Amino acid sequence: MDAMFSSCGLQTLPTEFAWSPPCLRALTAIQRDFEIDDEKLKRIAARFEEELYEGLSKHGENLTMEATWVHGLPKGTETGSFLTVDLGGTNIRVCWITLRGRGCQPEIVQKLSHIPEVVKTGEAHQLWGFVADSIDHFVRERGLHCTASSPLALGFTFSYPVRQDSLTNGRLKTWTKGFDIKGVEGEDVVSQLDKALRAKDLHIDVVALINDTTGALIASSYMDAETVIGAIFGTGSNAAYMENVGSIPKLKTPLPPDTPMAINCEYGAFDNSHRVLPRTKFDQMIDRDSPRPGEQTFEKMSAGLYLGEIFRLIICDFHDHGLLFKTQNVSRLARPYTIDTAFLSALESDTLPNLVGKFESISGVEATLGEVQLLRRLAEVVTTRGARLSACGIAAICKKKGIREGHVAVDGSVANKHPTFKSRWAKALAAILDWQSDRERDPIRMVGAKDGSGIGAAVIAAMHLRY
């Protein structure tokens, strides 16, 4: 079992602490349930490729493969100053971005604010009032001038599944990332934001509605011409790439077949029909208790919003079977989403004594060094599976498009902050695409996205205005 998991990026079993035979048996069972070997990876990627084609062919498929109406990659000559807003899963970020062309780092002035829980589960007027307030405060603080005759151009990053008929409108299909706001699904989010801006007498025109994955693709291409895919491995999981209009049968448009179109895959919903992903009982619990059961199957197994919760469910299961924290009060640990993915990152990077204190501050449980060592192993199991799954969607895009080399521009907290995600992802991608991984020389390799949600929105706004 150790050799098998070492090949997936896990460490060998520790020798410092003696775990009981029942504990070892439980750990072995967890490892077996979460293991995805190379052959299974290839089967998942093959099914992923099939769903890419299905989503391009007709509406209503698992992968919605949304046309973004971003035609082509930037030339690198786009310049100007733009207001951008990024409504993410945790924060809202308002920026004033000045583009100076490829080779010159864009200038960014920004303000980040936490999205209150009451907004995430409230009503439409609360959401758009909050967004408009955030923009209003930023514009006033920075002394930006906008008038009816000279409005500010806004690039709006809205990282949720939308159906777009143009670059400046999009109807929300379903909330993800734990949001459940009434009165927005099925509505044009740009129109709703415009109404809130007008209510505050803000002369701001939304000139581009984008997803963070499309932003990652465009922003990175603006600075790096070798960019072929943009991806997000953070709160959610998704990717974007360039497709030809002629390869999108469901898209009824007079545009020439060879016209490039950025596609937002929305592949967090991969395998909603449960044909290939190896779901465990913990994955089923996550889905059952989520705001949208039956949706976003892939995301719930691989994205940062859920990895910490999967881990929490496992250690609670160990406790229920008398294998962890036997004399401890675990009432705080029993609360959903008590543990986030940041703690999983710490488990694989910090020292055991430090982790004892961190775990107690999070959970109220005073773990022994041996128990923390076991927590580390369980975290490795969960995050290794997440990294390996994350490679499948990228591999499927590469196989479909015949991409043999280039950069995958990646943003998101998991990719940026987890200490081993990138190496495990690279090893899995190499296994699917049949090469020996040597991260710095891999023909297709991950690079950091250049602030897709901000710079990407500004670049797309500049492309649109020039067009």
Backbone angles phi, psi at 458, to 5 degrees: -65, -40
User: Which are the contacts of 207, defined by CB distance < 8 A and separation ≥ 6?
Assistant: 153, 154, 155, 167, 168, 461, 464, 465
Does the annotation mark 212 as catalytic?
yes
Q: Using alpha carbons, select from 142, 146, 147, 129 the residue that is nearest to residue 97.
A: 142
* Strand boundaries in 104-251, DSSP class E: 107-114, 152-158, 162-166, 169-172, 204-210, 227-233, 237-244
**Backbone φ/ψ region at 101: left (φ over 0), alpha (ψ -120 to 50), beta:** left
- The one-letter code for the residue type at 79 is T
Does the annotation mark 180 as catalytic?
no
Q: How far apart are CA 115 and CA 191, in angstroms?
A: 21
- The answer to whether the beta carbons of residues 266 and 298 sit under 8 Å apart is no
Residues forming a β-bridge with 242: 262
- The answer to whether the beta carbons of residues 289 and 311 sit under 8 Å apart is no
User: Which are the contacts of 237, defined by CB distance < 8 A and separation ≥ 6?
Assistant: 267, 268, 298, 299, 302, 303, 390, 393
- The one-letter code for the residue type at 442 is D
Backbone angles phi, psi at 236, to 5 degrees: -115, -175
Q: If DSSP states are collapsed to H, E and C, what string results for 207-248?
A: EEEECHHHHHHHHHHHHCCCEEEEEEECCCEEEEEEEEHHHC
Residue 376, judged by CB atoms within 10 A of its CB (0-12, 13-18, 19+), counts as: buried
Catalytic residue among 47, 93, 376, 445: 93
Does the annotation mark 205 as catalytic?
no
- The answer to whether the beta carbons of residues 66 and 116 sit under 8 Å apart is no
Residue environment code for 348-358, b if the CB has 16+ CB neighbours within 10 A, otherwise e: bebebeebbee
Q: How far apart are CA 211 and CA 214, in angstroms?
A: 5
Catalytic residue among 159, 221, 363, 390: 159
In the chain, count H helices and then E strands.
16, 13
Q: How far apart are CA 238 and CA 241, in angstroms?
A: 11
- The answer to whether the beta carbons of residues 28 and 55 sit under 8 Å apart is no
Catalytic residue among 212, 283, 340, 411: 212
Active site residues: 93, 159, 212
